[in-house]
Amino acid sequence: MSVFIAVTSFTITNAGTVDGVISDPGGAITQLPVHASASFAIPGPYTINLNNVIGATMNFNDGNLNINKAAGTVPGAEFTVAVTVA
């Protein structure tokens, strides 16, 4: 018997020392200041932007969340991602 566990939503927490901005698949912009969290559940691509540098990209589709580190780095940037599964 195989069991499929799917990601149904995810939460990003800014654990660093620099504010972030998250763009979601619908084009909405979420400000993510230091120590703040935001939850997301819309399938599609997400981008974390830090001082006009892309810190990470994510793709949330078909119950999977893929996180890709971007080429740029920003000192003090640190984010945690927690997933909700079903």
The answer to whether 69 and 56 are in contact (CB under 8 A) is yes
pLDDT in tens, 21-61: 999 999 999 999 999 999 999 999 999 999 889 989 999 99
pTM of the entire structure?
A: 0.88
Structure tokens at 77: 């940037």
Structure tokens at 46: 């997400």
Written out in words, the top-level CATH class of the domain with range 7-85 is mainly beta
Structure tokens at 17: 């020392």
What are the boundaries of each domain within the chain? 7-85
